[in-house]
Amino acid sequence: MSKFATSEPGSLNAAAISWLLAQTLWVGGLWLLHFLILPALARLGLAPLLVEEVGGHLRALLVGLAAVCAGVQALVLVRVTGVSGLWRDMRGQLLLVVVTAAAAFLVARLYWPEVGLLPMFTYLVMAFCGLLLVLQPLPGGRR
């Protein structure tokens, strides 16, 4: 049998795998969009208004994805550490900040579109919280 089919001590369990998958989707997506895709679109010579419009729609979609994935990560953390893990653990605190920032982004985008800097600020807060979350150890697994 291959080493991937056997269950070795210290191997990743389902909680750690789902944590990593959700984290990869939302943290990687936020950083990829803001620092790679949108600058590449602007460099291609597309109209700045078009790049801004595409960026606005894609940011909203990614913030929704980030909220869902952070919710999945919060459920994994609660399952591994208990409900107190959301308040006492740094990973839980970062996830709560991410969910709050995502809610602020979406509320500001829907109800106060004239507020210019709040959506970008909350987007960057989510991105940096995700970066800090990547540096934390996995719940229920090894690093």
Nearest to 63 by CA among 135, 132, 129: 129
Q: pLDDT per residue over 27-68, tens digit each? A: 999 999 989 999 999 999 889 999 989 998 999 999 999 999
Could you list the residue range(s) of the whole structural domain that residue 63 is in? 14-134
DSSP label of 49:
H
85-93: which pairs have CB atoms within 8 A and are 24 or more residues apart?
Answer: 85/139, 90/136, 91/133, 91/136, 91/139
In a domain, 6, yes or no: no
In a domain, 39, yes or no: yes
In a domain, 139, yes or no: no
Q: How many domains does the chain have?
A: 1
> Is residue 16 predicted with pLDDT exceeding 50?
yes
In a domain, 127, yes or no: yes
Quote the CA–CA distance of 76 and 23 in Å, as a whole number. Answer: 12
pLDDT at residue 1, as a whole number: 45
In a domain, 83, yes or no: yes
In a domain, 85, yes or no: yes
In a domain, 4, yes or no: no
Q: pLDDT per residue over 75-112, tens digit each? A: 999 999 888 878 888 999 999 999 999 999 999 888 88
In a domain, 142, yes or no: no
What global pTM score does this model have? 0.84
